[in-house]
Amino acid sequence: MEKKYFGTDGIRGEVGKGVITPEFMLKLGWATGKVFEEKGRCKIVIGKDTRISGYMFESALEAGLVSAGADVQLLGPMPTPGIAYLTRTLRAHAGIVISASHNPHYDNGIKFFSSEGTKLPDEIELAIEKKIDEPLVVVPSEKLGKASRVEDAAGRYIEFCKSTIPPMMGLEGIKMVVDCAHGSTYHIAPFVFEELGATVIQIGVKPDGLNINDGFGATQPKALQQAVLKHGADIGVALDGDGDRLIMVDHKGEILDGDELIYILAKARKDKGYLGPIVVGTKMTNLGVEHALNKLDIELKRADVGDRHVIAMMNETKAILGGEGSGHIICADRTTTGDGIISALQVMETMLRQNESLYSLKADVEKYPQTMINVKLRESQSFVATAEILQAVEKVEGILNGSGRVLLRPSGTEPLVRVMVEGQDAELVNSLAKELSVTVERILSED
């Protein structure tokens, strides 16, 4: 069945528009409580990032859940992966995340975790959607749920993050800049690294409800680059607003994205003998990273874009490592979902074990030039790869002659088709991408 409200990663949109309203969140909370209450009295945890609308939606969800007879535990500002962890360890039936991840403050959204700290199964999302369309009926007063606040939520998660590297390994001697994007890791990430012994310079740690992801964080790493060079730091770590993305900067101020970090982690796990034959990336994973992995006898499997698809393929192939160039990295041997802090710790553990800088660890990866051009669709138009479009793609692939690749990918959130060409020759790649995008645009305009 096609979902009415849930997208590939929960429900997201602009605050006050569509379903991102207090009225809908009240009903969503009630519907969630009713679905889980069918198996007996349930407990749901709620966490949020630092955007101002989180207060409003937290209250609405709480009221809806309690009115359905569900007990609620409030975590306050908490990274998405922290909510996944606490959903498991607090033995909750589900976890709710109020966040729009790397989006600006005027967006917000809802994501769910199962009792195992994984994405909520499709059948439960569909059951919640079905309940949303039913009349809201409050349970009798004696059956109302209760709400409480988990006062030590941050401390619990900090200790878990620290436990993901060996107990006798410290970060003494490492000087680092940590950029929290004025998001949900502001009161967690710096303390994780400091308590492990690192010297930490903090930026992006003063949330005001409106500045989340604004000029800081994994999607805007320029501030991190500047701070690393200014302070002569060994590394920089940038997280996004909800803490599930990681971008790093080496001592020269050069950025390492998720693709390069996955390679470093894959090689380290391969060297220790427990990686397995497969690492999962996406259709957007850089071809140069795939070739570098192949040289280590590691196969890259490509999933559709989105951490839900990456995790599904990891489960299917029994891979312990996967992720995206955006910085969503899943270390399944450490946790259940993408976690920026834990991924950074795994990279730092590799630096210490091998006594190498981040700059030298990335030396074996030569990322290929990649050009992506957006071709607009009409508002009601859907993208279909016609015979003429496929012929144009084949022509470009023939010119690349095995040294590159082509990808046409419709956007999941905008009326766009993304035309991507990748290869070893930057000038050729750029020229071919422009030529192909013009062709695609012409064909679509004739449709």
Residues classed as catalytic? 101
**Tokens standing for residue 318:** 């029994």
Count of other CB atoms within 10 angstroms of residue 402: 8
- Cα(18)–Cα(11) distance, rounded to whole angstroms? 11
Count of other CB atoms within 10 angstroms of residue 265: 23
Q: Is the dihedral of CA 300, 306, 311, 312 positive or negative?
A: negative
**Tokens standing for residue 213:** 């992801």
Residue 78 identity (one-letter amino acid): M
User: How far is CA 425 from each of CA 130, 371, 434, rounded to the nearest angstrom?
Assistant: 52, 11, 14
**Tokens standing for residue 22:** 């207090």
- The tally of CA atoms less than 13 A away on the side-chain side of residue 162 is 20
> Which residue stretches of 107-202 are H helix?
122-132, 153-162, 189-195
- Cα(174)–Cα(190) distance, rounded to whole angstroms? 13
- Cα(372)–Cα(366) distance, rounded to whole angstroms? 19
Q: What phi and psi values does residue 269 have, to the nearest 5 degrees? A: -70, -35
